[in-house]
């Protein structure tokens, strides 16, 4: 019942659930919250690392799906959508990725892509709360969005999934991040992909950890991504 009430809470009510880590006496806004870190540690397939000054990135697991036509889409993601195999898509999966980890990824990847790639899908942010630096994470999101905007591609931001079987604080963080990313998409004229409502109260779509989608959930997530991308292309 606590989770159901929180799902429909107003922004003002949500502010009182959490306090910022850097300023314990200040209530946080919707934009200053992110999701709890994932505990996924999938086996790396390659040993390619991003060269960042402060962070050693996890391995980039890059795949290219079978082609029916020319490749049109690049997906940059963490482990949540690692197993989604969409046609005509190049996927760069970085298990354990944070916003900082992939900050330079678009600029590094775009020169190597076919000219037919016109869309970029981003799914990241669930691991950033390990640093417990909300303001810094928000700033890094905005930096990343500026990088994406300069790419000259159609940008899609895939929102977080809700967590199940967690306490109120851990449950509320994905919801706060969902609202934050949704507002950022309006600001930057990106397309937001709503995964939260799709997985809300759907324990049958998640693994026992309550975080990662199972096979059925991965299929649902894949169909949601495809639907939003296709509908955006047609409009």
* pTM for the predicted model, two decimal places: 0.70
Low-confidence ranges of the chain (pLDDT < 50): 2, 4, 6, 10-56, 66
* Mean per-residue pLDDT of the chain: 74
- Domains, the chain, in order of start with CATH, read 2-234 (3.40.50.12700)
Note the pLDDT of residue 173. 78
**pLDDT value at position 41?**
46
Q: What is the pLDDT of residues 146-204, one digit of tens each?
A: 999 999 999 999 998 887 766 676 777 788 888 999 999 999 999 999 999 888 888 88
User: What's the pLDDT score for residue 137?
Assistant: 80
State whether residue 106 is helix, strand or coil. helix
**Dihedral sign from CA coordinates of 23, 28, 29, 34:** positive
Cα–Cα dist 106/102, whole Å: 8
């Amino acid at each position: 019942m606590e989770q159901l009430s929180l799902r429909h809470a107003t922004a003002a009510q949500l502010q009182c659930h959490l306090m910022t880590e850097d300023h314990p006496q200040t209530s946080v806004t919707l934009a200053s919250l992110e999701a709890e870190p994932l505990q996924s540690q999938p086996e790396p397939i390659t040993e390619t690392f991003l060269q960042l000054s402060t962070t050693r990135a996890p391995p980039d697991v890059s795949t290219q799906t079978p082609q029916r036509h020319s490749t049109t889409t690049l997906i940059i993601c963490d482990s949540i959508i690692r197993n989604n195999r969409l046609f005509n898509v190049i996927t760069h999966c970085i298990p354990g990725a944070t916003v900082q980890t992939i900050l330079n990824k678009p600029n590094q990847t775009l020169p190597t892509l076919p000219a037919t790639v016109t869309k970029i899908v981003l799914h990241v942010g669930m691991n950033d709360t390990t640093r417990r630096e909300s303001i810094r994470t928000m700033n890094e999101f905005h930096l990343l969005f500026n990088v994406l905007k300069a790419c000259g591609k159609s940008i899609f931001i895939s929102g977080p999934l809700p967590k199940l079987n967690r306490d109120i604080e851990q449950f509320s963080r994905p919801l706060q991040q969902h609202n934050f990313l949704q507002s950022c998409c309006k600001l930057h004229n990106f397309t937001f992909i709503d995964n939260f409502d799709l997985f809300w109260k759907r324990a049958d779509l998640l693994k026992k950890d309550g975080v990662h989608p199972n096979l059925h959930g991965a299929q649902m997530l894949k169909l949601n991504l495809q639907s939003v991308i296709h509908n955006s292309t047609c409009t």
